[in-house]
Amino acid sequence: MTQVGARRWLPFSHDSLGDLSWVLNAYNIVFAAALVPAGRLADRLGRKRLFLVGVVLFVTASVVCGLAGSLGVLVAARVVQAMAGAVLLPTSLSLASPEFPVTQRATATSLWTATGAVAAATGPSLGGFLTSWLGWPAVFFVNLVIGLPMRIPARRLLRESRDQQGRLPDFLGAAMVAGAVAAVALAMVKGQAWG
């Protein structure tokens, strides 16, 4: 690793690859477990309200990720980022659908899905470019450029909607799913080291 590259990863130079894998594992596990409960909570409390909270939480967690000086702080911030992401995904679709006539909702949903697919396809390449150019924190700080300006039109244009009849989310079930998947991931990452 070059001297510049070493400086960019310096806070984590003493952490093992298995420990570093939790930067991804923590996000994926929490996001998957929180997705359905977050959608139900948005239905009850208000989709626009939770979307705006999710944007602020995601951007704030991204800043903490970019400033993290230790792996523990980075993983904890990724957990918060995952919870915010789990709020943003279902609320964005729920807020977009009513803005289109019923005859155009299939097209709107297709565009929403295609946008996510394009983001998923270009994200790793963009992340690699930013990491090479500015260092790993840039991968997180770029969310400031996207997230903060998005709040202005979102507050003005989005209409609040909710479903008061919907059931409360199963937080205990989501926590159990996250715990079980985390335990399996932990066993896979640390099993050999622990014998």
Structure tokens, 188: 């896979």
State CA 95 to chain mean position distance.
18
What's the sign of the alpha-carbon dihedral 52, 55, 61, 63? negative
Output the pTM of the full model: 0.82
**3 state SS of 13:** coil
Please tell me the predicted confidence (pLDDT) of residue 173.
Answer: 80
Show the DSSP H helices in the chain as ranges.
3-8, 17-20, 22-45, 47-67, 71-96, 105-134, 137-157, 171-194
What's the sign of the alpha-carbon dihedral 177, 112, 125, 69? negative
Please tell me the predicted confidence (pLDDT) of residue 111.
Answer: 86
Q: What is the dihedral of CA 128, 133, 136, 138, to 10 degrees?
A: -100
Regions of the chain with pLDDT less than 70: 1-11, 166, 195
Distances in Å between the Cα of 176 and the Cα atoms of 8, 76, 173, 182 are 36, 18, 5, 10
- Name the DSSP class of 104: G
Please tell me the predicted confidence (pLDDT) of residue 166.
Answer: 65
The total number of residues shown for the chain amounts to 195
Please tell me the predicted confidence (pLDDT) of residue 9.
Answer: 53
